[in-house]
A and B are shown apart, each in its own frame.
Chain A
Amino acid sequence: MKLNVIRGQEAATCAAIGTAGALIFLFAFPKGSITTLVHAVLGLPGPGTGIALVVGPFLILVAIIASLLSRADGGALVASFMFAVAYALVVRLLGIPTNPKGAFGSGWFIAAVVAFGIVAEATMVVGKAVKDVWRCMIAGALANAVLLVFYWMMIFPRTYEWVDWSDVPLLMGLCLLCGLASGCVAWGISRALSSVFALEEKE
């Protein structure tokens, strides 16, 4: 398998996408909104529902769009890493309040997002033989599952509590479904964006 490793301009594009994603996430999801949505409105058990239903799918959008637009290996990882770093920096510099349960902006958060990025990237590289939309969906589901398991094993036991074993099948099922759906949406958005860029390039 021949690798088309990401280079200067492509890496900068992916980093910009990751940073923009972090800023949009901070703007769109103020403290308490995700917890209220998943527990008070949807009535789902926790911990990890917010990660599986909101944080993970949003990260999938950022990572997969960056990977597909750059068309280079490493795009998803660079975008994920920059998302985590930009999020941590903005939260610390501007003193934006976040939910302590999710440890957003901490070293553990960066580690979780990097693990997510590695899995997303590996799936995108390994699955090149598969049709693009399926590759994005599988990458989304696997990366979302890894993010959730990382949170369950490494973060929630420190910040909140261990997940109840009886909730694991439901949460993991939702996590995989949301990952698949988000991967599909990311593929659709990147197709629309690349058609706009292709028109610009033709001119």
Chain B
Amino acid sequence: MCGPPDFEALHTCVTRLAELSAAGVTTCSVCMAASLCRRCRGKRGERDDGILCDVPGRLAVEGLSEQPDT
């Protein structure tokens, strides 16, 4: 081995690796959560639009089905 062991450097290395790993995992989780949130919101918006579009049709159908009873 060249030179004496430097445990201070090894300690710094382990600390920095832990910090980098934590930062990486946090960033990745936040990105994934944000993407999923936006995707869910987009889907809900599409579904609401679909329900609103169907309203006149559904009312008409309900009206037709109620006519014979009256």
Give residues in A with beta carbon < 8 Å to B: 24, 27-37, 39-41, 46, 99-101, 160, 192-193, 195-196, 199-200, 202-203
Contacts and interface: CB of A to CB of B under 8 A. Distances in A.
Interface string B27-70: 01001100110110010000000000000000000000000000
Contacts of A192: 28
A199 B39 CA distance: 8
B10 A101 contact: no
Contacts of B42: 203
Interface of B: 1-3, 5-7, 9-10, 12-13, 16-17, 20, 28, 31-32, 35-36, 38-39, 42
A99 B2 CA distance: 9
Nearest to A199: B35
A199 B16 contact: no
A33 B9 CA distance: 5
A27 B39 CA distance: 36
Given A27-B16, A101-B2, A192-B28, A36 B10 contact: yes
Ranked 10 nearest A-B pairs via Cβ: A32-B6, A40-B5, A33-B13, A199-B35, A39-B1, A32-B9, A33-B9, A36-B5, A36-B10, A28-B16
Contacts of B7: 36, 40
Contact of B10 (A37, A46, A160): A37
B40 to A, nearest CB: 11
